[in-house]
Structure 1
Amino acid sequence: MPSFKPVVALMRGLDVLQAVNASREATVGSVHAATGLDKATVVRMLETLEHAGYIVRVAGRPAYVPSWRTLQLSQGYDLQRSLGAAAEPILTNFRKSIGWPSDLAICDRGAMIVVQTSREQGPLSLNRRPGYQAPVLSTSLGRAYLAFCPDEERQAILAQIAARPNAESVDLGEADAILAEVRERGFAVMDGTYSDREYEGLVWAIAVPVMNGERACASVNILMLRNAMSYEMAVDRLLEPLKATAARLAEVFRAQG
């Protein structure tokens, strides 16, 4: 356990930097919506990050983008890049075989971090890149991971989420019921409310865990258009190929040590 309370201002600044990094062009309004911070705080954080050189203002517009300096923050973290590179051909071939894109994600500090994606190929790109942080409780990626990770880790993740201001709401009873259903059927489904918010209800997803022995080490999904692929069709046609792809990805994780 830490021996001190977190520095709230620093945490807010990191939240703002994350919101800018996740957008092509971030505005005060979009950062406010993403973080829940009041707009005056958002402005102070944006100007501080600009002064520090981590973001730059777009010429002629009240918008911000990450600067080259943000790349320095990841120089000491190679696992994500190495996993992504090894997984890329697997996801590329999987998309060619089924026609729908996929994400591979690992769990880090209560969020699902996309380490590789095949969304950038073809018409259903959906603007997700490696490094994108997906919420745990409402995405198929997060639910698939949570359902098959160790109990102690699951409770720690839920506690992390619950402790964050303006984060996903956590109803432990509801979460336990959802995850029990995922374990029973062997796969997870994107929450409908999340689909409505992020994709106007047009896109949905299923995901399975990438297993290392008896526990999940990651998860992989398939994203589909709701009007083109029903639940029944996806389970019948895509679930087994998805599980086979997860098994191939598990070999990648074992090779990474």
Structure 2
Amino acid sequence: MLDSELKERPARSPQLPKYNDLHCRANSLRGSVDEHKASYAPVESARRVLLLLQALNAQRIATIGSLHQVTGLSKSTIVRMLETLISEGYVVRDNFVGGYSVTSKVVSLASGFSGAPLLIEAARSRAVALTNDIKWPVSLGTLRDGHILVSFTTAPISPWSYPFPVLHRFLDLELTAMGQCYLAFCDDEERALLLNALTQQRRGQGKPFDAARVLRDLRVTRKRGYARVGGPRRVFDFVAVPILDGQRCSACMGVGFYRTAVASDRIVESVIQPMLETASAIKVDMRNLNSSGY
């Protein structure tokens, strides 16, 4: 475990943020982290509908009065919005108990928000802050089809970025730091399945694969808390730490740096320790998002 279990935060009533407090920009340049300038003023009617849906979702059965109390919207506005949501199939009125509730159709609103998207929401600002601190690009990867898929990277904002594309790359489980990290920190059953698949894959490629050696190396990786791939013949060194969801490894965070740019006796202090602290914070952020209903 990278940190101790924390108590969940109490739920808060949804509130519309002030326009000046918003951090949104739909047409930001790729890699930009300037989130403080909105392109246009928010569409107030859309904000109110989302606020109402959030309040509805938090209550098993809601009344006009309870929605008015939570949202602060006028009762006439609430009635019009509810009738619109009913016509679109997202809300139903329960005549037996005299209230409103969401329907199963609201699940479709989150159909694309799981796995990597949830991870990125929880980790994006942390990864950006880490790059601002250590300067090197930070990448996030999740398991996909027996490889690690890099689903997010801060390479566009790093002053010392890689001379090759990183985003959407598939990384080998045996030969890369993020792959080794995932193998070391996933559960025993998943690891056995992945190593068996690797054995079959290497055999099909006509390459040797020493599963016993790999397991020994993974035990070392797990004990020290991070994976590292590099060496005197490599231009780059790569290190990776796990991002845990409870006790399950949900993703890995990797950083690569020029081997000659970081003294070997400072790698843990200047690169790995900040990564471990960031991964620990991301774990807490993911717990908070999950407790919000995602």
TM-score by length of 1: 0.61
Alignment partner, residue 233 of structure 1: 266
- Per-residue CA deviation, residues 194-237 of structure 1 (Å, 9 max, x unaligned), is x96xxxx1111111111122231111122111011133211122
Give 1:118's aligned amino acid.
T
Residue aligned with 2:150, SS: strand
Amino acid in the other structure paired with 1:124: S
Q: Which structure 2 residues correspond to residues 80-119 of structure 1 after superposition, within 5 A?
A: 80-119=116-155
Q: Which runs of 5+ in 1 are unaligned?
A: 1-75
CA RMSD of aligned residues (A): 2.4
Query: Corresponding residue for 2:256?
Result: 223
Query: Cα gap change, 1:180/1:238 in structure 2, threshold over 3 Å: closer, same or farther?
Result: same
- Contact residue 119 and residue 127 of structure 1 kept, 8 A: no
2:207 & 2:169 partners in 1: Cα distance? 16
Aligned residues: 176
CA distance in 2, matches of 1:145, 1:98: 23
Larger Rg over CA atoms: 2
CA distance in 2, matches of 1:110, 1:162: 12
User: 1:11 maps to what in 2?
Assistant: none
What is the deviation of 1:181? 0.7
Higher helix content, 1 or 2: 1
Deviation of 1:252 (Å)? 4.2
What's the counterpart of residue 180 of structure 2? 143
Give a deviation string over 1:75-114, Cα, whole Å, max 9, x none: x865334433442222111100111111111112211111
Please state whether the residue corresponding to 2:257 is helix, strand or coil: strand
Q: Unmatched 5+ residue regions in structure 2? A: 1-110
Shift of the 86–215 alpha-carbon distance from structure 1 to 2, 3 Å rule, reads: closer
User: How do 1:7-46 and structure 2 match up within 5 A?
Assistant: none
AA aligned opposite 1:210: I
Is 1:128 equivalent to 2:165 in the alignment? yes
Match of 1:7 in 2: none
Identity across aligned pairs (percent)? Answer: 24
**Partner Cα distance (1:153, 1:253) in 2:** 22
SS in 2 for 1:114: strand
TM-score scaled by length of structure 2: 0.54
List structure 1 segments (4+ residues) > 6 angstroms apart after TM superposition. none
Matched, 1:159 2:196: yes
